[in-house]
Chains A and B, each alone.
Chain A
């Protein structure tokens, strides 16, 4: 612990001196380093240190939040006083003695990134570049990015919870451009985990480069995507981001609480095909979206959100759980000490089914195969979502045929979840950074290959 217990208690007491009901301190020391390579040259290497704390006081549904990038006693007490003044109309509230909270999971680190020389990390980026360019002679550009982050987190609150955690994440990204006769196409792949450099002994960096290169090359043979409603098969892994957007965000309690989610008030109701079981689990050791605690000191856990098509529960932070009288789910997350926690997903996925991927393709007469999604967006109030497909294919007579470019999938979360009619046994996870209210947090998503009937594909060919 980089802050002493008596100081933490003093700060929390100061924050609750003016009429607040609950007070919390979140302190962080963060170290990061990143490398980027382009044109087969290691162009940039940077590193940094960032530390600070925020004090949050709540009363009823109101939040008063103050952050500072100093960790000395004077600065912390000043921030606590300021946060407490958000409710300057009451007396002091008592606080509980601090006691350490135990997590349900750990994310052990075998090879800390700080133990590896920067030059060795640079050598890895050159390998990725070589692998990407080795995919074919039409590759004209590859950019490779690497980053590692190490944070020491300390969270304590007036209810007496005290949690500390060290978090290490590594991430590798390759973006490749292929060109033919003036047409340029791109390919992307990445690997990341809440782990150390051992990730790259198990998941070869070369594979990230080669996969991105191959994707760009395939798309050189693509033709413009068609438009209109059709059956869509979502390839394992990447498609999980569709469910992250299409229904995950609508299951976050801040939106549910205001009644602006299509899922509000539907607990116990059938909201998806009975094939669908949707889980959010921040306690899977080593996964990209995992932590021992959420950013409010609540141990992460496995939460079944939709079970066999029936809505089971929502994802909560402390404030919304208290408002709803619900159990804590460990979904209070924030980008950094500069941001207040809000309900967020961790690793969100649809459990695998029993059919094989081949069976699904073979039983599809005509459709669209979405292999890689480039990201998307949802309007939780309506459930309407949109997704870019960076690698798509036609499905004709039970076979994957022509690659298609420029397609977007558009639909409604509730409708799409009900239209899932086939689920394969090839579950896979993927990594991403989820943005909400201007805060980015690492989020994993996953799914098996699955089929959705009657979805709108927005291409350029009518």
Chain B
């Protein structure tokens, strides 16, 4: 792919631009969905494309194509230059200085491609079976999915940068449905890895079943203010919103609740959060970001104190800082923009059981809904749907549904009393390594 990127770069350099960059990608994916032990869907796709970014008189233009022919690359380079002509000039725009040191990461497994499709189908079936066999109240599994992707990413730019990397990812996902006395409840789980042998399908199937069954008989509870215990799935969803407010762009554009709070206490002393694009188990890890800048670990909040923000080249230059390697890019169809890679909340020493045992009357939240519409990264206000179980006298008690939990994320961060020791990777809210948390008080709205 690097040769395609370099070819695109040549066309771009003939457009009378100051700097240019080509991002080329080739990927293939496979997805298997199983329902009642039959294959419901077997889908595969292959694709490739190039995104060309040019800088001309300090303004930027971008264009992409899925057609890798010379004609198409030339037209795309011209379109990128035309697009630059309408954008305003900005002295901070431009390519990063090429780096020489990159983290060495194991992101690729050759076993993904050689593992037979029949065994991938069997993996999805085993996930469904594990859910059904876990509890007789599991009436069906709405979807048991195995999916994988393999990609090759190459970036070349006019400052001489030219590198590529390969990666593989795979996961299984399941949604189990429990039924009792006419009520249905659902539970989800997933398992992720670089190759199928790293997936634990049985644990995944069982966990989804357990999560669904635990909610059977759920009803609305009284409105109250009480301590909240979030499980790792819920912690991850909350961290996703917090992470989006920790980008340099959000801070610079007054779109972040953290704007102007660098060096100040924004969370409780037990709360330490970092972004780590180099973690071997993080699915968003890569040797370099979407601009060719090496990835790294960036501490965002240390013992409650805000250390800084995430930057790509442009937002970093505005603060006379270097990029933190957070110029992320989902595909060749988008320009790089500043974003999180893998968020990691430093885990504590207390187990979930011990956290619950210490709560007299509280709410253990196992699922939140409406996070994208109910949480505001600018004001920090949030109100989201929640399901889970009440905690009474240090024990898990009756299941709860149709309530909301609400508050302000900044207030919530300061009210985090305990961070649990049950950290796990969760693909909700991005790629997040999240443990359970105890939050001193939040508003629960119900009856």
In the complex, what residues of B have CB within 8 A of residue A179's CB?
A: 254
A375's partner among B41, B44, B373 (CB-CB below 8 A) is B373
In the complex, what residues of B have CB within 8 A of residue A112's CB?
A: none
* B321 at the A interface (CB under 8 A): no
List residues 38-81 of chain B with CB under 8 A from any CB of chain A. 38-49, 51, 60-67, 72, 76, 79
Q: What's the minimum C-beta distance from A411 to chain B, rounded to whole angstroms?
A: 7
B335's partner among A46, A379, A458 (CB-CB below 8 A) is A46
Contact status of A42 and B87, CB under 8 A, knowing A69-B49, A411-B402: yes
* A387 at the B interface (CB under 8 A): yes
List residues 354-399 of chain A with CB under 8 A from any CB of chain B. 373-377, 379, 381-382, 384-388
List residues 313-365 of chain B with CB under 8 A from any CB of chain A. 333-335
Q: What's the minimum C-beta distance from B30 to chain A, rounded to whole angstroms?
A: 10
A63's partner among B42, B65, B384, B401 (CB-CB below 8 A) is B42
Q: Which of A225-233, A418-426, A442-450 is found at the contact surface with chain B? A: A225-233
Smallest Cβ-Cβ distance to A437: which chain B residue: B143
In the complex, what residues of B have CB within 8 A of residue A44's CB?
A: 60, 62, 87, 335
Whether the Cβ atoms of A141 and B402 lie closer than 8 Å is no
Interface size range of chain B in the complex: 35 or more
Smallest Cβ-Cβ distance to A57: which chain B residue: B42
The CA of A43 and the CA of B140, in the complex, are separated in Å by 50
* A39 at the B interface (CB under 8 A): yes
Smallest Cβ-Cβ distance to A68: which chain B residue: B46
A377's partner among B65, B90, B369, B443 (CB-CB below 8 A) is B369
* A338 at the B interface (CB under 8 A): yes
In the complex, what residues of B have CB within 8 A of residue A67's CB?
A: 43-47
Q: What's the minimum C-beta distance from B46 to chain A, rounded to whole angstroms?
A: 6
Whether the Cβ atoms of A374 and B374 lie closer than 8 Å is yes
A interface footprint on B399-425 (CB within 8 Å = 1, 0 otherwise): 001111111100000000000000000
In the complex, what residues of A have CB within 8 A of residue B42's CB?
A: 62-65, 86
* A340 at the B interface (CB under 8 A): yes
Q: Which of B15-23, B96-104, B154-162, B218-226 is found at the contact surface with chain A? A: B218-226
List residues 200-234 of chain B with CB under 8 A from any CB of chain A. 220, 223-225
A48's partner among B63, B183, B446 (CB-CB below 8 A) is B63
* B146 at the A interface (CB under 8 A): no
* B272 at the A interface (CB under 8 A): no
* A1 at the B interface (CB under 8 A): no
The CA of A368 and the CA of B43, in the complex, are separated in Å by 46
Whether the Cβ atoms of A65 and B44 lie closer than 8 Å is yes
In the complex, what residues of A have CB within 8 A of residue B165's CB?
A: none
Whether the Cβ atoms of B373 and A177 lie closer than 8 Å is no
Q: What's the minimum C-beta distance from B386 to chain A, rounded to whole angstroms?
A: 9
Whether the Cβ atoms of A376 and B373 lie closer than 8 Å is yes
In the complex, what residues of B have CB within 8 A of residue A65's CB?
A: 41-44
Contact status of A119 and B86, CB under 8 A, knowing A50-B49, A50-B333, A456-B404: yes
Whether the Cβ atoms of B40 and A61 lie closer than 8 Å is yes
Contact status of A410 and B404, CB under 8 A, knowing A184-B254, A386-B369: yes
In the complex, what residues of B have CB within 8 A of residue A375's CB?
A: 370, 372-373
In the complex, what residues of A have CB within 8 A of residue B76's CB?
A: 48-49
Whether the Cβ atoms of B443 and A227 lie closer than 8 Å is yes
Q: What's the minimum C-beta distance from A362 to chain B, rounded to whole angstroms?
A: 27
In the complex, what residues of A have CB within 8 A of residue B79's CB?
A: 47-48
Whether the Cβ atoms of A460 and B140 lie closer than 8 Å is no
B385's partner among A381, A384, A460 (CB-CB below 8 A) is A384
Whether the Cβ atoms of A338 and B60 lie closer than 8 Å is no
Q: What's the minimum C-beta distance from A373 to chain B, rounded to whole angstroms?
A: 7
Whether the Cβ atoms of B443 and A460 lie closer than 8 Å is yes
* A118 at the B interface (CB under 8 A): yes
* A159 at the B interface (CB under 8 A): no
Count A/B pairs, Cβ under 8 Å. Answer: 245
The CA of A177 and the CA of B67, in the complex, are separated in Å by 40
Q: Which of A149-157, A204-212, A297-305, A401-409 is found at the contact surface with chain B? A: A401-409
Contact status of A388 and B383, CB under 8 A, knowing A63-B43, A340-B43: yes
Main secondary structure of the interface of B (DSSP, over half): strand
* B281 at the A interface (CB under 8 A): no
The CA of A44 and the CA of B220, in the complex, are separated in Å by 47
Smallest Cβ-Cβ distance to B84: which chain A residue: A45
The CA of A26 and the CA of B253, in the complex, are separated in Å by 42
Whether the Cβ atoms of A45 and B88 lie closer than 8 Å is no
Contact status of A381 and B142, CB under 8 A, knowing A51-B66, A184-B254: yes
The CA of A406 and the CA of B402, in the complex, are separated in Å by 17
The CA of A374 and the CA of B370, in the complex, are separated in Å by 10
Q: What's the minimum C-beta distance from A236 to chain B, rounded to whole angstroms?
A: 19
In the complex, what residues of B have CB within 8 A of residue A47's CB?
A: 62-64, 79, 83
A interface footprint on B172-203 (CB within 8 Å = 1, 0 otherwise): 00000100000111100000000000000000
Whether the Cβ atoms of B254 and A177 lie closer than 8 Å is yes
In the complex, what residues of A have CB within 8 A of residue B86's CB?
A: 35, 42, 45, 118-119, 122
The CA of A133 and the CA of B141, in the complex, are separated in Å by 51
A43's partner among B88, B379, B406 (CB-CB below 8 A) is B88
Q: What's the minimum C-beta distance from A10 to chain B, rounded to whole angstroms?
A: 20
* B445 at the A interface (CB under 8 A): yes
Smallest Cβ-Cβ distance to B411: which chain A residue: A460
In the complex, what residues of A have CB within 8 A of residue B404's CB?
A: 227, 386, 408, 410, 456, 458
Q: What's the minimum C-beta distance from A93 to chain B, rounded to whole angstroms?
A: 18
* B392 at the A interface (CB under 8 A): no
Contact status of A45 and B45, CB under 8 A, knowing A228-B447, A258-B35: no
Smallest Cβ-Cβ distance to A457: which chain B residue: B445
Contact status of A177 and B255, CB under 8 A, knowing A46-B83, A118-B83, A374-B373: yes
The CA of A421 and the CA of B378, in the complex, are separated in Å by 36
Counting from the closest, the 5 A-B pairs by CB-CB distance are: A458-B404, A386-B385, A375-B373, A388-B373, A227-B445
14 new A-B contacts, CB < 8 A, other than A48-B333, A227-B443, are A44-B62, A45-B62, A46-B83, A50-B49, A65-B44, A67-B44, A179-B254, A184-B378, A185-B378, A186-B379, A338-B45, A377-B369, A408-B370, A461-B443
22 A-B residue pairs with Cβ-Cβ distance under 8 Å, sorted by A, are A45-B83, A47-B83, A48-B63, A48-B333, A51-B66, A62-B38, A69-B48, A227-B404, A259-B140, A375-B373, A377-B370, A384-B402, A406-B379, A407-B383, A408-B406, A456-B220, A457-B445, A460-B383, A460-B408, A461-B443, A462-B223, A462-B443
